[in-house]
């Protein structure tokens, strides 16, 4: 995996009660909780940071980072890619309004209108 690539989410998410989950814009209470590592990556997948920046950030959260931290993050990213929840890019990506913030911070009507305009389909 190329650590210089940027990672960005392609799914709407929520961050309620310290739990990151995928959310359905049409039914905001219908969520799919993510395991902790996946939730961290999805919540940080703003398209403005590289995989290396993610690794550096996560390393800084530990007094003694686990030896397999980079490998673990690569595995999480690969699984999220397979689920079409995040994608990678060689350049920074500007997320559309409805993907840029947790669902609870969005103006739902505005998000729905932009989704319709963009032809966004939730996976």
CATH code of the domain covering residue 104 = 1.10.10
| Number of domains the chain contains | 1
User: Does the pLDDT at position 102 exceed 90?
Assistant: yes
Is 1 a domain residue? no
Beta-strand runs (E) in the chain: 6-9, 13-16, 19-24, 27-33, 46-50, 86-89
In this prediction the pTM is: 0.89
Question: Quick check: 123 pLDDT over 70?
Answer: no
Report d(CA 122, CA 9) in Å as an integer.
12
Distances (CA, A) of 120 to 27, 110, 117: 16, 14, 8
For residue 93, is it within any domain?
Answer: yes
* Predicted local distance difference test score (pLDDT) of residue 122: 66
State the pLDDT at residue 51. Answer: 97
**Residue-averaged pLDDT of the chain:** 93
Range of the domain at 51: 6-118
State the pLDDT confidence band at 66, using cuts at 50, 70 and 90: confident
In angstroms, the Cα distances linking 11 to 27, 50, 98 are 14, 18, 9
User: Using 50, 70 and 90 to split pLDDT, how confident is the model at 67?
Assistant: confident
Q: Which two tokens stand for residue 57?
A: 């950030």
């Amino acid at each position: 995996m190329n650590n210089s690539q940027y990672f960005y989410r392609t799914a709407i998410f929520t961050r309620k009660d310290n739990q990151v989950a995928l959310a359905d814009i049409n039914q905001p209470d219908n969520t799919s909780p993510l395991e902790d590592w996946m939730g961290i990556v999805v919540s940080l997948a703003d398209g403005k940071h590289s995989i290396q920046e993610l690794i550096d950030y996560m390393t800084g959260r530990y007094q003694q980072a686990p030896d397999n931290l980079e490998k673990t993050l690569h595995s999480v990213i690969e699984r999220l890619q397979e689920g079409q929840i995040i994608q990678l890019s060689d350049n920074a990506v500007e997320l559309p309004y409805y993907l840029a913030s947790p669902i609870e911070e969005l103006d739902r009507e505005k998000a729905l209108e932009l989704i319709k305009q963009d032809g966004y389909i939730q996976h």
